[in-house]
Amino acid sequence: MSLAHLLLRQAQLHPDTPAIFLGTRPWATHAQWAGRSAALATRLRQAGLQPGERVLLFMRNHPRYLELLWGLWWAGLAAVPVNAKLHPREVAWIAENAEARWAFTSADVVTEALPGVAVQIDVDSPQADALLAEPPAGPWPEPFDAPPDHLAWLFYTSGTTGRPKGVMLTHRNLMTMGLTYAFDVDTVGAHDAMLYAAPLSHGAGLYAIPHLMAGARHVVPESGGVDPAEMFELGRHHGPLTTFAAPTIVRRLVEQAQAEGLTPDDAARSFKTIVYGGAPMYAADIRRALDVMGPRFVQIYGQGETPMTITALSRGMLADVGHPRWAERIASVGVAQTPVQVRVADAQGRPLPAGELGEVLVRGDTVMAGYWRNAEATAATVREGWLFTGDMGVLDADGFLTLKDRSKDLIISGGSNIYPREVEEVLLTAPGVAEVAVVGAPDPEWGEVVVAFVVGEPGTALDVAALDAHCLDQMARFKRPKRYVVLDALPKNHYGKVLKTELRQRV
Ligand code: AMP
């Protein structure tokens, strides 16, 4: 069974229900979506594309993204989703490495020809119209009968060092990820609607799978991206939405709710669920988000190599304010999701007891088939079925995982280990601080010293002496920053992750 069968099933069950929207405008019913995707599949196969071949999707968020994706799966092809904001040289490298002969692009992102790509189609062109033109209504041709380990999604990791590697995700990986959403993340039904503000080329796009499984609606905002005012407005139009948001987007939604003077009940009219993840969420930020917007948050922790599926911190756990360990739990990433085992291990991969710090390992049906044409990297990362995530963490006796900084982020000052996250959590509770990132700087006396990059709330002038006093009041002396650098904004990558490498270079 392939992921395309999920669309066929909805098209047979609910042909005439609107499935895809562009902003407030209906774009396709399930039958239209299936018709277009099936027609595209037939045309791509007629053009000579063979099952297993890779097709690049290098475009901004667009309702056709979903039609293309399911069209590729219908034909047995693999999608290579590329973030629309990548540099042309980065995209060129991906196209070449994936050996993609076809690419679908949008005019606003493409600046150069892609090496090795023989057919490049603008998603808004008449050529794309012709490829996606619907045949008469069903019956639709059967989707390609993909074996479970057939490649579906070749995702290039945003790795901070070296060339990006292609993570091979199979139909089985994505089917498992989709099914477990209903157990670990949220209930989902036909009345729900998923809003794609974050890039469809990443985890947000994969959440189309559980929403299609449930026959829900899919909404692509007109802006194609993150515009908090538009997101609230779309919720008021469609009814409470579900969306996936990196912590930086959550922060912007909270600011929007405050700017509009909304109560948690008002926020509930726009959003049913905001799933956050992809980068650390600080305890102070999630507390504020819960206060302003009410209990509509769920955290997930995942990685390209086991997409969206390592742990989850449910709405109920976040709302359980009376629990004796609530404060620790909201700073954790929650518990293992249903289809995976999660373990914290030493450098040899041996499991460590609760409370000890080690590398986070994951095993289960969501773990990638390997890195594309890179047996060496695969062997180093997946050992005896266990994915070595590179993330450092601690499990407690109840199974809650708290991530610590990656080993390369750890600061060793005067022989003592300092976890940047600890210092960041404290600084974020100081008045007037909006964002913070802590790194180590080389120091002749201490080996390394703690440097804090701080961004103030709009309209506040940060007082470094007051920040220092706040730190002295809350943490061990040796952990407090020796230097503060006040910035207007932190450098971030396209997914909203703070670029600590860049900050380290500055010091
Ligand atoms: P990517 O493969 O680009 O999706 O990046 C995955 C990495 O993001 C993980 O290995 C973690 O380091 C980080 N990450 C993902 N989710 C979370 C989370 N909920 N909290 C903290 N870090 C996260």
197 and 226 Cβ atoms separated by less than 8 Å:
yes
pLDDT at position 158 over 70: no
Among 301, 402, 407, residue to substitute to test ligand 1 (most atoms within 8 Å of Cβ) = 301
User: Is 161 a residue whose pLDDT tops 60?
Assistant: no
Indicate the Cα dihedral angle 481, 486, 489, 491, nearest 10°.
Answer: -50
Q: Whose CA is nearest to atom 4 of ligand 1?
A: 303
The fraction of the chain above a pLDDT of 90, given in percent, is 82
CATH of domain 411-506: 3.30.300.30
User: Does the Cβ of 286 fall within 6 Å of ligand 1?
Assistant: no
Report residue 44 as tokens: 């791509």
**Any residues with CB less than 8 A from the CB of 443 and at least 6 apart, and which?**
413, 449, 482
**Residue 453 token pair:** 């990059």
Phi/psi class of residue 415: alpha, beta or left (left: φ > 0; alpha: ψ in -120 to 50)? left
pLDDT of residue 56: 98
Ligand 1 proximity of 105 Cβ (cutoff 6 Å): no
Ligand 1 atom 7, closest CA: 303
At 490 the pLDDT is 94
* Ligand 1 mean position, distance from CA 152 (Å): 22
| Ligand 1 centroid from CA 450, angstroms | 23
Q: Which atom of ligand 1 is nearest to the CA of 389?
A: 10
Kindly report, residue by residue over 319-355, the tens digit of the pLDDT: 999 999 999 999 999 999 999 999 999 989 999 999 9
For the chain, domain boundaries: 1-146, 341-406, 411-506
152 pLDDT above the threshold of 50: yes
Q: What is the dihedral of CA 438, 201, 305, 80, to 10 degrees?
A: -130
Torsion sign, CA atoms 378, 379, 383, 389? negative
Question: Which residue has the least CA distance to atom 6 on ligand 1?
Answer: 303
| CB of 204 sitting under 6 A from ligand 1 | no
| % of the chain exceeding 70 in pLDDT | 98
**Does residue 333 have its Cβ closer than 6 Å to ligand 1?**
yes
Measured from the Cα of 158, ligand 1's closest atom is 3
Q: Is the CB of 247 under 6 A from ligand 1?
A: no
Exposed (0-12), middle (13-18) or buried (19+): which is 202, by Cβ within 10 Å? buried
Q: Whose CA is nearest to atom 9 of ligand 1?
A: 303
Residue 129 has pLDDT above 70, yes or no: yes
Pocket test for ligand 1, best of 303, 381, 409 (most atoms within 8 A of CB): 303
CA dist list (Å): 376 to 44, 348, 372, 386, 468: 33, 18, 10, 15, 46
Strands (DSSP E) found in 62-175: 78-82, 102-105, 119-122, 151-156, 166-170
Residue having the nearest C-alpha atom to atom 21 of ligand 1 = 280
Domain 341-406: CATH superfamily is Luciferase; Domain 3 (2.30.38.10)
Question: Which region holds residue 23: left if phi is over 0, alpha if psi is between -120 and 50, else beta?
Answer: left
DSSP state of 23: T
**Residue ranges of the alpha helices (H) in 133-226?**
171-184, 203-206, 208-213
314 within ligand 1 shell (Cβ under 6 A): no
Q: How far is the CA of 300 from the centre of ligand 1 (A)?
A: 9
Task: Give residue-wise pLDDT tens across range 357-367.
Answer: 999 999 999 99
3-state helix vs strand vs coil in the chain, percent to 5: 35, 30, 40
Mutate to test the pocket of ligand 1, among 391, 400, 424 (most ligand atoms within 8 A of CB): 391
* pLDDT tens per residue, range 269-306: 999 999 999 988 999 999 999 999 999 999 999 999 99
Q: Is 280 in the pocket of ligand 1 (CB under 6 A)?
A: yes
Q: pLDDT tens digits for 217-262?
A: 999 999 999 999 999 999 999 999 999 999 989 999 999 999 999 9
Closest atom of ligand 1 to 277 CA is 19
Does the beta carbon of 391 lie inside 6 Å of ligand 1? Answer: yes
Whole-number pLDDT of residue 501: 87
Is 301 touching ligand 1 by the criterion CB < 6 Å? yes
* SS3 of residue 63 by DSSP: helix
Q: How far apart are CA 502 and CA 143, in angstroms?
A: 46
Alpha carbon distance 435, 487 (integer Å): 10
Which pLDDT belongs to residue 160?
Answer: 47
Residue 418 near residue 412 (C-beta atoms within 8 A): yes
Ligand 1 pocket, 403 CB below 6 A? yes
Q: Is the peptide bond before 199 cis (omega within 30 degrees of 0)?
A: no
Question: Measured between alpha carbons, how far apart are the two ends of the chain, in Å?
Answer: 52
The answer regarding whether domain 1-146 maps to CATH 3.40.50.12780 reads: yes
Residue 299 and residue 312: Cα distance in Å, rounded?
6
Closest CA to ligand 1's atom 20: 280
Q: How far apart are CA 21 and CA 276, in angstroms?
A: 23
In Å, what is the CA distance from 39 to each residue of 120, 231, 489? 18, 32, 46
Ligand 1 center from residue 302 Cα (angstroms): 6
Out of 298, 403, 493, give the residue to mutate to test ligand 1, the one with the largest number of ligand atoms within 8 Å of its CB.
403
